[in-house]
Amino acid sequence: MPPKLLFLHGAGTNAAIFRIQSRNLAALLKPHFELVYLDGFLPSPPGPGVLPFFEGCGPYLKWLCDEHVRDEALHWQCTDGVDRLVAEYRRLGPFVGVVGFSQGAKAAMYLIRRLEELNEAGELRIFVAVCGTAPFEGGGQVDGQEEENGIRKEGFKESLEKGLVKTESVHVIGDNDPWRVPSETLVRFFEGPKRVVRFKGAHHMPVEEEVNKLVVDSILAAYADT
């Protein structure tokens, strides 16, 4: 059996939609890996760019509540979201890597950090973030965008202080992504060897064959390194 990669979709989509969004990357990975797509746990409005193309393709789902900094802190402190993701990882695995898009990359970071804390990373070797968003924690009353941005920055620091992820990582970042800064911040959460692939695009899975080949080459190199 080929080694498995777990795919986690972005907020406001689902596993079926992500299969379509990631089809170009998946076509190049399938000769080397078995790809497993998981649905998020929470209901969500459709995500950016989902409509009208994926009209009627719901339910639309997400992994965690992170609309505001206090939402994310409370979500992970007061729910079993990470533990539920760990349980699904155990049930469907073993995996050698996790590929996450947007919020799915953030959820994957939390997952791998928890697995490392539990000494259960096992065969896991690769983390791949495509247009990932960075974890932030914190809380308190948020009154306006400027204050929230400040709390987000403090949240980055707070979350980083909980420890860096040792798993080797690949970061795929769109030059014109409105969430490019969080994607760049996410790189800082990883201690192990890091590869960064940049593409001339926005907040979406890369479609160009040459970009996807670079991503796959980076994944295979990371897999060979460990």
Inform me whether the pLDDT recorded for 38 exceeds 70. Answer: yes
The CATH number assigned to the domain holding 145 equals 3.40.50.1820
Q: Is the pLDDT of residue 138 over 70?
A: no
When divided into structural domains, the chain yields a total of: 1
Structure confidence by residue, pLDDT tens digits, 12-28: 999 999 999 999 999 99
**Domain residues for 39?**
4-225
**What is the SS3 string spanning the chain?**
CCCEEEEECCCCECHHHHHHHCHHHHHHHCCCCEEEEECCCEECCCCCCCCCCCCCCCCCEECCCCCCHHHHHHHHHHCCHHHHHHHHHHHHCCCCEEEEECHHHHHHHHHHHHHHHCCCCCCCCEEEEECCCCCCCCCCCCCCHHHHHHHHHHHHHHHHCCCCECCEEEEEEECCCCCHHHHHHHHCCECCCEEEEEECCCCCCCCCHHHHHHHHHHHHHHHHHC
pLDDT at residue 157 greater than cutoff 80? no
Taking the model in full, what pTM does it have? Answer: 0.91
pLDDT attached to residue 73: 67
Token reading at 126: 């690769």
Q: What is the mean pLDDT of residues 122-130?
A: 94
Closest to 162 in 3D by CA, of 112, 212, 96: 112
